[in-house]
Amino acid sequence: MKDDNYLIKVEQAIQEKYGDSVIQNPKSNWNEEKEKQYLEQIKKLANKVRPKEKVEVEGVLMPKKLFRKESNRTCPECKKYSFNMKDDLYMVKFKCCFVCYVQHVEGREEKWLKKITS
């Protein structure tokens, strides 16, 4: 058997525990001034999130924000730009991408490291 007054009882219990402001309709405290402030906040947030400048990388526009100045993602051996995370490891240690590592470095790591450090 279902109690027809269940929702009323729940609302009264919430009101008793947390106060009158909890069960009020949110629109009851809203006015034009609050609406203007809210819209300004949204505009500020949108300006922060939107990238301002874009850079062309192999025919694709990318947000400049994604590129760090100290990061060079172009392999000096094959001159290809890489988004591959695996290439990051090889770029840091061997100064080349994974493909160049397999072709030129694998099995000759010590000789390669001497070459790039001198």
Q: Which whole number is the average pLDDT over 10-20?
A: 90
Choose among 77, 74, 49, 75: nearest CA to 63. Answer: 49
Classify residue 106: in a domain, yes or no.
Answer: yes
Question: Does residue 41 surpass a pLDDT of 90?
Answer: yes
Residue-wise pLDDT tens digits, 67-96: 665 556 788 888 888 777 777 778 888 888
Amino acid at the residue 109: E
**In 2-110, beta strands by DSSP E:** 54-57, 60-63
Classify residue 80: in a domain, yes or no.
Answer: yes
- Residue 48: which domain range? 30-67
Choose among 80, 77, 81: nearest CA to 103. Answer: 77
Q: What percent of the chain has pLDDT over 90?
A: 16
Question: pTM, whole model, 2 decimals?
Answer: 0.39
Classify residue 79: in a domain, yes or no.
Answer: yes
